[in-house]
Amino acid sequence: MRTIYLDVLIVCSLYMNYLLLRLTARMTHTRLRFGRAMLGAGLGSLGSLAVLLPKLPFVLSLLMKTGMAAGMCAAAFGWRSRRRFFWHLLVFLGAGCIMAGILLALTATGRVWYVNGYWYPDITLPSLAVCTIAAYLVLMLVQRLHDRSHADSGAYRVLIRLGGRTTGLEGLADTGNSLVDFFTGLPVIICDRKRLADILPDTLPPEKFRPLPYTTVAGTWLLTVFRPDEVLICSDREERSRQVDALIGLGEQENGRAIFNPKLLRY
């Protein structure tokens, strides 16, 4: 007879759900606050109590799991934008499937049990950490390969709004700009500081503007970044605009363009 400890079940579920939500935020380049991440992970950990129920039909188990995933994404990322919500849910489910594949391999050892769509790991926390980190690295590799294989080109216009003022710059989609903020997981659009003078305050308040270290072949540097109220990327080719979630980096661009990674256009 298998013995299930509720504390182990909830703690392990909370840990894995938190990791999956963080991974989803990173892959979709969405800002995720710690409190929202813990709220979503906590909701998912309550759903893990389904392992205590009698074995359910596969379809019902799948519906329960999908509904819980939707609730977790809504709690963590919100649901105001239907398109963004379903994108978060799709990425979350995809990441969960890959994580589940690794855990499924561990069921052969008899140390991981699968009941009603949820997992109960009867393994040490260090072993669980190694497995989840391995899955995280695999997903990061898939993301990098996907980004490199989807380069984009064309003429763009980047509109940046801050404090009720808006300015526009010529945009350049460049896969060479892979700069990402390690606090929020958001990509950084590098702009010429002088071209943004119309919307920047005379003094940069530290609560909104902060330095971001980055490394090039010439060494390590600091780039001042801030989160604008709104960023729109307008495509001359498609004659439409897309709102993106990104930080703005204040650099010195000789051509005066706003340089962004083309993967921003796909999220």
Task: Let me know if residue 132 belongs to a domain.
Answer: yes
> How does strand 219-226 pair with strand 209-216?
antiparallel
Task: Let me know if residue 1 belongs to a domain.
Answer: no
Task: Let me know if residue 46 belongs to a domain.
Answer: yes
Q: What is the pLDDT of residues 83-116, one digit of tens each?
A: 778 888 998 888 887 776 666 665 565 556 655 5
| Residues 259 and 211 grouped into a single domain | yes
Q: What is the pLDDT of residues 13-32, one digit of tens each?
A: 788 888 888 888 877 767 78
Task: Let me know if residue 191 belongs to a domain.
Answer: yes
Q: Identify the domain boundary among 148, 177, 194.
A: 148
| Residues 193 and 127 grouped into a single domain | no
Global model pTM greater than 0.85: no
| Residues 242 and 221 grouped into a single domain | yes
Give the count of domains, the chain: 2
| Residues 88 and 211 grouped into a single domain | no
pLDDT of residue 39: 92
| Residues 44 and 104 grouped into a single domain | yes
| Residues 213 and 141 grouped into a single domain | no
Domain CATH code at residue 201: 2.40.70
Q: Identify the domain boundary among 118, 148, 178.
A: 148
Asked whether residue 159 carries a pLDDT value surpassing 90, the answer given is yes
- Which residue in 195, 178, 66, 48 sits closest to 113, CA to CA? 48
Cβ atoms 249, 139 nearer than 8 A: no
Q: What is the pLDDT of residues 162-215, one digit of tens each?
A: 988 999 999 988 877 888 887 777 889 999 998 999 999 988 888 889 999 877
| Residues 161 and 144 grouped into a single domain | no
Task: Let me know if residue 128 belongs to a domain.
Answer: yes
| Residues 132 and 14 grouped into a single domain | yes
Cβ atoms 38, 18 nearer than 8 A: yes
Task: Let me know if residue 185 belongs to a domain.
Answer: yes
Average pLDDT score over residue span 31-40: 86
pLDDT top residue among 198 and 134: 198
Task: Let me know if residue 197 belongs to a domain.
Answer: yes
Containing domain of residue 262, as a range? Answer: 156-266
Phi, psi of 95 (to 5 degrees): -65, -40
pLDDT top residue among 154 and 190: 190
Q: Identify the domain boundary among 123, 148, 173.
A: 148
Name residue 23's amino acid: L
pLDDT of residue 120: 63
| Residues 144 and 12 grouped into a single domain | yes
Average pLDDT score over residue span 237-259: 81
| Residues 129 and 166 grouped into a single domain | no
| Residues 10 and 142 grouped into a single domain | yes
| Residues 120 and 178 grouped into a single domain | no
> How does strand 258-260 pair with strand 165-173?
parallel
Burial class (CB in 10 A: 0-12, 13-18, 19+), 97: exposed
Task: Let me know if residue 16 belongs to a domain.
Answer: yes
